[in-house]
Amino acid sequence: MQSSLSQCRPSLRRLLHAVDTTLVARLSSAALAQAYAPVAPNCKRQNLCNAVNDALMIALDTDNRACVFGEDVSFGGVFRCTVNLLERFGKTRVFNTPLSEQGIVGFGIGLASAGHTAVAEIQFADYIFPAFDQLVNEAAKYRYRSGGSFNCGGLTVRAPYGAVGHGGHYHSQSPEAFFTHVPGLKVVMPSSPAEAKGLLLASIREPDPVIFFEPKMMYRTAVEDVPEGDYMLPLGVARIVAEGSDVTLVGWGQQVLVLQQAAVQLEAQHGISCEVIDLRTLLPWDAEAVCASVSKTGRLVVSHEAPLTSGFGAEVAATVATRCFTRLESPPVRVCGADTPFPLVFESVYLPGVARVVEAVRQTVAF
Q: Which residues are catalytic?
A: 101, 171
Choose among 296, 334, 345: nearest CA to 312. 334
Rounded to whole angstroms, how far apart are CA atoms 254 and 214? 9
Q: CA-CA distance, 144 to 103, in Å (whole number)? A: 22
Residues 24, 15: Cα–Cα separation, whole Å: 14
Which amino acid appears at position 257 of this protein? L
CA distance 214 to 115: 25
Beta bridge partners of 277: 240, 250
Contact, 246 vs 365, CB < 8 A?
yes
Cα distance between residue 159 and residue 101, in whole Å: 11
Strand-pair category, 117-121 with 210-215 = unpaired
Which is nearest to 58 in space by CA: 263, 230, 249?
Answer: 230
Residue 120 · residue 113 · CB < 8 Å:
no
